[in-house]
Each structure stands twice: as C-alpha cells, then as structure tokens.
Structure 1
Amino acid sequence: MNNGTHASVETALRHYKEGLGVFTQKLPSVAERFNAFTEACFAEGALSKKEKQLIALGISLTTQDEYCTIYHAKGCLDEGASEQEILEACAVAAAFGGGAAMSQAVTLVQECLRELRTTH
C-alpha cells in the first residue's frame, strides 16, 4: 500500500488479521492483554463507539498508519458513521496533521468508503 501501490482494502484487512493471528499464536498472553485493553478503550461509555472510531480514524490519519486508517474507516462504517461524519473527522485530522493527513483522507479513506460501503 505504500509507495503508490495500494492493495485493495479487503486485502489489507486480511493481511492485518492474518498477521495478528500469527502474533497471537507466538505471544498469546501479550495479544490477549492488548486485545482486552483495546476492547475496553473502544467500549461504549461517555463517548459512543462511533465517536471513538471517528477519533481513532483521525489519529490514524495524523500518524500516517495506513492499516489503522483502513481498520478504523471500517470501524466507523460498522458503527453507523455517515460519509459526512467520516469526512469531517478527516478534516479535523488534516487540521492537525497537515498535507500528509489530508493526502490519506482524499485517497485511502475515499477508497475505503467506496470498497467497504458496498458491504454495509
């Protein structure tokens, strides 16, 4: 996905899940604790699950983490975020992350919306 060669969004999600599976087999106690921690962080609370996914998408864009951008774009859709909400979260990320975040918002996030919206 780097260097201008974007794999499909579904392929990237599959690679992430496969890698996580291998990691979990090799370090199960670490993976289990990490998963429990992130599940607690993304649980419904004062912020909704959708709001938390939108925040995570913005952070992913700002830190230039393509796998997390794809994962959280999907999470936003899974939690019922509209395209407008997702794009506004991208705009806020661009306000902090500048052109680097904006470039991912107008390419990778748009690609995620195109590919993943058809499955929701």
Structure 2
Amino acid sequence: MDTVSRNSSETALHHYKAGLGLFTQKMPNLARQYNAFTEECFKEGVLSQKEKQLIALGIALHSQDEYCIIYHVKGCLDQGCSEQEIYEAVGVTAAFGGGATMSQAVTLVQECIEELNQLKQ
C-alpha cells in the first residue's frame, strides 16, 4: 500500500471532523442535539459499546456510507474488536446487502483495519 492510500482513512476521518466542526459553527443547536442523541445511542447499556459499533458498521456498510464505514471500523477497533469479529459482522451484513456490502468489505474495511492498526503503532 502506498503512502497516499495508507493515510486515506486518517484523511477521511479528518475531513469528517472538520466538516462536522464547520457545521457545528453554522448550526450549533442542531449539532448539539444531534451529538447528544448519538452519544446516548452509543452509551454502554444492555448492549456493549463494542456491540453497538459492530451494528453501526453493518448499517454503514449496507447504506454504502464510506465516511461512516471508516468511522465505525475505527470505533470497532477502539472498542477492542478483533478483525474476526469485524469480518463476521461484515458477513451478516452481506447476507442482507449482497455484493455491494462485499465490495466495501473487501476494499475499504480491510484497508481501514490495516491503516488504523498501523497508526496505533
């Protein structure tokens, strides 16, 4: 993987956060309420934060949302998911999303895992 590709996940996360920051400046009340809502959704509960990240990754894959795929692969890794757990979640999602899900899994998900694990080192 070349240098540009190796940093694509990190760059995408940076773009997302920068965009969210600009949106927050322009729409502070909406952004605050949205952030509070998503924080509540991802709190530890009957389902763990790890399980919730795996669910979110599956939804992001099914909806073909590349920014959310990257964000939730990172969330899965941050919550201690193994590659196998992530790939099993991909498999369940592929049962519903078919080829579109698999195309994201065999490219973007695998690249993100590799890139984000390298950033931890």
RMSD over aligned CA atoms reads 1.1
2:9 counterpart of 1:9: yes
Q: Which residue of 1 aligns with 2:76?
A: 76
User: Distance between the aligned counterparts of 1:17 and 1:28, measured in 2?
Assistant: 15
Off by >6 Å, runs of 4+ in structure 1? none
Long gaps (5+) in structure 2: none
Q: How does 1:43-82 map to 2 (within 5 A)?
A: 43-82=43-82
Equivalent residue letter for 1:16: Y
Equivalent residue letter for 2:21: G
Long gaps (5+) in structure 1: 1-5
User: Distance between the aligned counterparts of 1:50 and 1:119, measured in 2?
Assistant: 20
Identity of aligned residues (%): 70
Structure with greater helix percent: 2
Q: Which residue of 2 aligns with 1:3?
A: none
- Normalized against structure 2, the TM-score is what? 0.92
User: Distance between the aligned counterparts of 1:25 and 1:93, measured in 2?
Assistant: 35
CA offset digits 1:43-86 (Å, max 9, x no partner): 00000000000000000000000000000000000000000000
Equivalent residue letter for 2:46: A
User: Distance between the aligned counterparts of 1:118 and 1:52, measured in 2?
Assistant: 24
Equivalent residue letter for 2:92: V
Q: Which residue of 2 aligns with 1:106?
A: 106
CA offset digits 1:101-120 (Å, max 9, x no partner): 11001100000000001233
Q: Which moved more, 1:20-29 or 1:7-16?
A: 7-16
2:25 counterpart of 1:21: no
User: Distance between the aligned counterparts of 2:56 and 2:62, measured in 1?
Assistant: 10
